[in-house]
């Protein structure tokens, strides 16, 4: 199985800050990396697929990059509604595997 490792596991930031979360795959997955946002008590929401393609309706302050084994999710200017947990998921092959999550908290 492909292991996905996110860092940091948690981060504190303020409204307006720029934040970057990283995700590393244990082997190359080309561009097949997905990012989700999850708020407490809710199902995850798709943010970005194929490493850098924004899902419909996702604000442009979110961006993704990377290929192979190293990927990033960047939020350019944090808004209050962005405080949540973020997960990466490799989408290259089954079994699908997720990172352990990054909790983004208000400073």
Partner 1 sequence: QLQLQESGPGLVKPSETLSLTCTVSGGSISSRDYYWAWIRQAPGGGLEWIGSIYYNENTYYNPSLRSRVTISVDRSKTQLSLRLSSVTAADSAVYYCARQVKSTTSSDYWGHGTLVTVSS
Q: For residues 32 and 62, which CB has a smaller minimum distance to partner 1 in the complex?
A: 32
Complete edge-to-edge strand list for the sheet that includes strand 4-7 = 4-7, 19-25, 70-75, 62-67
Q: Between residue 52 and residue 81, which ones bind partner 1 under the rule CB under 8 A? A: 55
Q: For residues 11 and 46, which CB has a smaller minimum distance to partner 1 in the complex?
A: 46
Closest C-alpha to 31, from 80, 84, 70 = 70
CB 11, CB 103: distance < 8 Å: yes
Establish if 7 lies at the interface with partner 1 (CB under 8 A). Answer: no
Establish if 96 lies at the interface with partner 1 (CB under 8 A). Answer: yes
- What does the chain come to in residues? 107
* DSSP conformational letter for 96: P
Q: What's the closest the beta carbon of residue 63 comes to partner 1, in angstroms?
A: 16
Establish if 40 lies at the interface with partner 1 (CB under 8 A). Answer: no
Record the tokens describing residue 83, joined without a space.
């405080």
User: Interface residues with partner 1 (CB under 8 A)?
Assistant: 1, 32, 34, 36, 38, 42-46, 49-50, 55, 87, 89, 91-92, 94-101
């Amino acid at each position: 199985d492909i292991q996905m490792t996110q860092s940091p596991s948690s981060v504190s930031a303020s409204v307006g800050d720029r934040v970057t979360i990283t995700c590393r795959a244990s082997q190359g997955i080309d561009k097949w990396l997905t990012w989700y946002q999850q708020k407490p008590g809710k199902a995850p929401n798709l943010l970005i697929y194929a490493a850098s393609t924004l899902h419909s309706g996702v604000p442009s302050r979110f961006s993704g990059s990377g290929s192979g084994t190293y990927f990033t999710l960047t939020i350019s200017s944090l808004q209050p509604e962005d405080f949540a947990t973020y997960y990466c998921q490799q989408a290259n092959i089954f079994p699908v595997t997720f990172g352990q999550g990054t909790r983004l908290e208000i400073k």
